[in-house]
Amino acid sequence: MTDDIPEFAREARGFLDAHARRAAGPGQFRWGVGDDSVAYFSADPPDVEEQKLRAARDWQRTRYENGFGWISGPAEFGGRGLTPVHELIYDSVEAGYDVPDTGTLSVVGLGMIGPTILAHGQQAIKDRYLPAMYRGDVVACQLFSEPEAGSDLASLQTRAVLADGEWVLEGQKVWTSVAQHSQLGMALCRTDPDAPKHKGITAFLVDMSAPGVEVRPLRQMTGGADFNEVFLTGVRVPDDHRLGEVNGGWRVALTTLMNERATVGSEGSGPVAAALTPARLSALMRATWTWDDRALRRDLSQLLTGIMATSHLNARAFRRMQAGAAPGPEMSVAKLMYAQNLTRAAHFVSSLLGPRIIADTGEWGTYAWAELLLATPALRILGGTEEIMKNILAERVLGLPKEPGIDTTSPFRDLPRSGGAQ
């Protein structure tokens, strides 16, 4: 299946040479030169964000028209019919070029929702949405989390009731990335409150422009608004927009989540990665006159050990996948480590900066770190909290037993809720 990889990589390089510029590379880091942003979340004003989205869509369309829009997807829906390994190869080749960041389209929509529609959607729905998504026309979001369903996603309460052959959705979703840009949402809804929680859920595709869908920005602790709340008030969804069986939505959600774990934690580029290099951090020590502080040097070594160990882990996982092996626990480990490394980095840099991170002196490369400092708590929560990730590792890899409970066998209706409400 993967014998043609060298040929495929050559073809990818040919395409990229024709349509993009080679990246300049990190080059020699020089203190005070260039962009000093260390933002994990976007800090762009709305007009810049719009402009970036347009560029992302254009680039996705170019990829699509040249056979690189959906490398592992079936040809029937505009895919290339190759393997996930080819996708990895393409990504690693593209990383050497200066191309627009397509994260808004790809992380949730193309990475998670597309494969779910492919696995569980009806033929007409696949025909209608899949080519449009991978061509860059349709942005999709994930309507999963709710105020009362965080780690315990299966306890979600948004209702869907069948009326006159259509489903009517009622409820609230939260922490929805890219909802403000989306034409399509994948919603998990409660369709049978008398069944145990995992067995009364159904998945739907929701037209985000339908009446009753309201998207409100959710301002997070950094001050920016990278997520949304989505209110669903009497939203009507045709039955052919259902994914999978009625009350079979948990299985559908697992398809989506399986693809999520593969994307978080593999972040090796961007402004944060660029800021956490030995060269940049040692320059910061020099600039802050902490160069010969033994305690801080030890902290630096500890920080770099974690960062380099994680990158060795990723490199080995990548090579194993290239050789056709199934992914092991590395992705979950990398996700936990990514959060730990960035958290440690933010606090290490704070120690170097001292008061210069509590008030902006205007000096290059100092107060800019506040963005990262304020973002790091999220990394231990999003994409599966640390506690949940550890449960998964312990249960799936080490075979430790689940915590016994009644919540998977009792009717959902009877489970205790926060605040004691039924």
Partner 1 sequence: MSELKEGLDELRAAVREFLAAKSPESAVRATMETQPRYDPAVWQQMAQQLRLPGLALPDDYGGDGFGLTELGVVLEEMGAALLCAPFFSTVVLAAQALLASGDEAACARYLPPIAAGQSIATLAASEGNASWDPAMVSARAERSADGSGWAVTGTKSFVIDGAIADLVLVVARSTAGPALFAVHRGAPGLRAAPMTTLDLTRSMAVLTFDQAPAVLIGAEGQAGRLMSRVLDVACVALAAEQAGGARRCLELSAGYARTRYQFGRPIGSFQAVKHKCADMLVRVELAEATAREAARLADEGAAEFPVAAATAHICCSQAYLFAAMETIQVHGGIGFTWEHPAHLYFRRAKSSELLFGGPAVYHERLLDRLGI
Residues with catalytic function: 260
Min dist CB 72 to partner 1, Å, is 21
Residue 315 engages partner 1 in binding (rule: CB under 8 A): yes
Question: Which lies closer to partner 1 via its Cβ, residue 24 or residue 398?
Answer: 398
Residues 6+ apart with CB under 8 A from 92: 318
Structure tokens of 319?
């090579």
Residue span binding partner 1 (CB under 8 A) among the ranges 124-132, 135-143, 224-232, 301-309: 301-309
Residue 33 engages partner 1 in binding (rule: CB under 8 A): no
Structure tokens of 262?
């593969």
Residue 333 engages partner 1 in binding (rule: CB under 8 A): yes
Residue span binding partner 1 (CB under 8 A) among the ranges 13-21, 47-55, 180-188, 294-302: 294-302
Rounded Cα distance between 375 and 383, Å, is 14
Residue 326 engages partner 1 in binding (rule: CB under 8 A): no
CA 210 centroid distance within chain:
25
Question: Which lies closer to partner 1 via its Cβ, residue 184 or residue 300?
Answer: 300
Residue 52 engages partner 1 in binding (rule: CB under 8 A): no
Residue span binding partner 1 (CB under 8 A) among the ranges 18-26, 37-45, 194-202, 308-316: 308-316
Instruction: Report yes or no: 180 and 217 within 8 Å, Cβ to Cβ.
Output: yes
Q: Give the Å distances, CA to CA, from 187 to 167, 279, 413.
A: 12, 45, 20
Residue in the structure block whose two tokens are 């079979």: 248
Min dist CB 278 to partner 1, Å, is 5
Residue span binding partner 1 (CB under 8 A) among the ranges 109-117, 158-166, 182-190, 388-396: 388-396
Residue 186 engages partner 1 in binding (rule: CB under 8 A): no
Query: What residues are paired with 232 via a beta bridge?
Result: 171, 213
Residue 301 engages partner 1 in binding (rule: CB under 8 A): yes
Residues 24, 398, 420, 421: which binds partner 1 (CB under 8 A)? 398
Question: What are the φ/ψ torsions at residue 101 (nearest 5 degrees)?
Answer: -75, 120
Residue 147 engages partner 1 in binding (rule: CB under 8 A): no
Rounded Cα distance between 178 and 252, Å, is 21
Sequence-ordered strand ranges (E) for 125-212: 140-143, 159-163, 166-173, 184-190, 201-207
Rounded Cα distance between 406 and 111, Å, is 34
Residue 48 engages partner 1 in binding (rule: CB under 8 A): no
Residues 300, 373, 374, 379: which binds partner 1 (CB under 8 A)? 300
Instruction: Report yes or no: 190 and 158 within 8 Å, Cβ to Cβ.
Output: yes
Encode burial over 115-133: b for 16+ CB neighbours within 10 A, e otherwise.
bbbbebbeeebbebbbbbb
Residue 310 engages partner 1 in binding (rule: CB under 8 A): yes
Residues engaged in binding partner 1 (CB under 8 A): 278, 282, 297-298, 300-302, 304-305, 308-310, 312-313, 315-316, 319, 322-324, 329-330, 333, 336-337, 387, 389-391, 393-395, 397-404
